[in-house]
């Protein structure tokens, strides 16, 4: 057997390799841990702050990007759970998105965190008012005024709450104070418009809403209220123009599409109405009124099966309209289903004892029962 002679390693090569490995390791350490020693700038670690997200939220709101602003305010509270301002502004935008109970919750948190902040109390008053808690809204707005007698928005929200309680003299007085204190603020003109609308003075309400849209052209809900007041005066073309502006400014708000559909429904243009109601649902599948209005449209078209489906969905989502209930009842009657119709007629008269169509439905079903 042939054995090859053992080869001796080269010690110089071995040591050169070891030195190279050591040099590489030291270099890597310096680049990662001490970059200034090798001519590199040290890596700056980005620290997320609540103030940054609060500022981002304010910037997005100023651009009309309500949903993006909501995300920023929520993130600010996650980073700093003690940020009263973030909770207050988060609550305001939740109210604008008609999430009233959540808005009240966030704004109550804000005033708990900072009981001396007039903005927090003013925005809580707004949320309470929009949630139908008028007496508490008045007391909360009065607290905001007490904290800061020069804060115009507090008087504006107080005026709106007084109007919702039909205390019109006090509403007008506080609305005027708000205008005197902060005439360049859309909030005071919008709430003055709400007071005038509540009083049935639609022409003057339009003037105030127009001023609000001039000051804050990025807020779609202002154009919706303006459109509704044109509609109340019978100026349907102007109403449609304002609502089209609303959905252009804020395409993520279903109310603009829904009211456009309602206007076309009133004109007998059912196909266009259906398209807008369906668009509202695409934007917000939880928007109850759009389902109710779909139900109404199918009902007048005698498409009772479709009407039943949409009325039921509206009611499931919390819609409280006597009309939805009694037309749902009549839809069942047309399928000879009085046993299903009666509970809806009963619910309608509980909501509105003067709902004649519901009483007629009950009489009809009673007569059918007697004839069996």
The helix/strand/coil state of 4 is coil
Question: In the 8-state DSSP scheme, what is residue 301?
Answer: T
What's the average pLDDT block by block, 10 residues per block, for the chain (372 residues)? 43 54 53 52 70 95 95 96 96 96 97 97 98 97 98 98 98 98 98 98 98 97 97 96 97 96 96 98 96 98 97 96 96 96 97 96 88 52
**Alpha-carbon distance 221 to 73, whole Å?**
20
pLDDT of residue 369: 76
Tell me if 242 sits within 8 A of 214, measured CB to CB: no
Question: What is the phi-psi region of residue 64: left when phi exceeds 0, alpha when psi lies from -120 to 50, beta otherwise?
Answer: left
Cα 43 to Cα 27, 39, 46, 138, distances in angstroms: 16, 12, 9, 53
Tell me if 174 sits within 8 A of 152, measured CB to CB: no
pLDDT of residue 8: 46
**Alpha-carbon distance 129 to 100, whole Å?**
9
Tell me if 9 sits within 8 A of 18, measured CB to CB: no
Tell me if 293 sits within 8 A of 281, measured CB to CB: no
Delimit the domains of the chain by residue range.
50-149
Q: Which of 301, 302, 278, 298 is nearest to 290 (CA)?
A: 278
Q: What is the pTM of this model?
A: 0.83
Sign of CA dihedral 324, 328, 330, 331: positive
pLDDT of residue 5: 41
pLDDT of residue 47: 80
The helix/strand/coil state of 43 is coil
**Torsion angle, alpha carbons of 62, 68, 69, 74, to 10:** -170
Question: In the 8-state DSSP scheme, what is residue 36?
Answer: G
What is the per-residue DSSP string for 107-158? Answer: HHHHHHH-TT-HHHHHHHHHHHHHTT-HHHHHHHHHHHHHH-TT-HHHHHHH
User: How much of the chain is helix, strand and coil, in % rounded to 5?
Assistant: 75, 0, 25
Tell me if 304 sits within 8 A of 296, measured CB to CB: no
What tokens does 138 get? 């008045």
pLDDT of residue 21: 56
**Domain 50-149, what fold?**
1.25.40
**Alpha-carbon distance 79 to 88, whole Å?**
15
pLDDT of residue 38: 46
Sort 180 into a burial class: Cβ within 10 Å, 0-12 / 13-18 / 19+.
Answer: exposed
């Amino acid at each position: 057997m042939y054995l090859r002679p053992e080869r001796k390693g080269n010690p110089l090569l071995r040591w050169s390799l070891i030195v190279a490995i050591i040099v590489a390791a030291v270099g890597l350490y310096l680049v990662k841990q001490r970059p200034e020693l090798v001519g590199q700038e040290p890596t700056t670690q980005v620290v997320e702050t609540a103030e940054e997200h609060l500022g981002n939220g304010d910037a997005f709101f100023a651009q009309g990007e309500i949903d993006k602003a909501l995300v920023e305010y929520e993130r600010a509270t996650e980073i700093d759970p003690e940020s009263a301002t973030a909770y207050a502004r988060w609550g305001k935008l939740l109210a604008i998105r008609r999430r009233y109970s959540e808005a009240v919750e966030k704004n109550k948190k804000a005033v708990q965190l900072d009981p001396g902040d007039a903005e927090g109390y003013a925005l809580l008053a707004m949320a309470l008012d929009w949630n139908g808690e008028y007496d508490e809204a008045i007391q909360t707005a009065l607290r905001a005024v007490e904290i800061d007698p020069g804060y115009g928005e507090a008087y504006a929200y107080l005026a709106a709450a007084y109007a919702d309680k039909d205390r019109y003299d006090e509403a007008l007085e506080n609305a005027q104070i708000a205008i005197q204190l902060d005439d360049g603020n859309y909030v005071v003109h919008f709430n003055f418009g709400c007071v005038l609308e509540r009083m049935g003075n639609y022409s003057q309400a339009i003037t105030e809403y127009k001023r609000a849209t001039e000051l804050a052209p990025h807020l779609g809900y202002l154009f919706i209220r303006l459109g509704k007041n044109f509609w109340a005066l019978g100026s349907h073309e102007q109403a449609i123009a304002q609502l089209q502006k609303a959905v252009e400014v804020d395409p993520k708000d279903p109310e603009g599409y829904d009211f456009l559909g309602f206007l076309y429904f009133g004109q007998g243009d059912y196909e266009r109405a259906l398209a807008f109601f369906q668009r509202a649902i695409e934007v917000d599948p939880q928007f109850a009124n759009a389902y109710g209005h779909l139900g109404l449209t199918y009902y007048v078209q005698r498409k009772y099966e479709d009407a039943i489906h949409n009325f039921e969905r509206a009611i499931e989502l919390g819609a409280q309209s006597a009309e939805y209930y009694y037309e749902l009842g009549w839809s069942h009657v047309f399928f000879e289903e009085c046993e299903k119709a009666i509970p809806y007629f009963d619910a309608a008269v509980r909501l509105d004892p003067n709902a004649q169509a519901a009483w007629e439905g009950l009489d009809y079903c009673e007569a059918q029962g007697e004839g069996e």
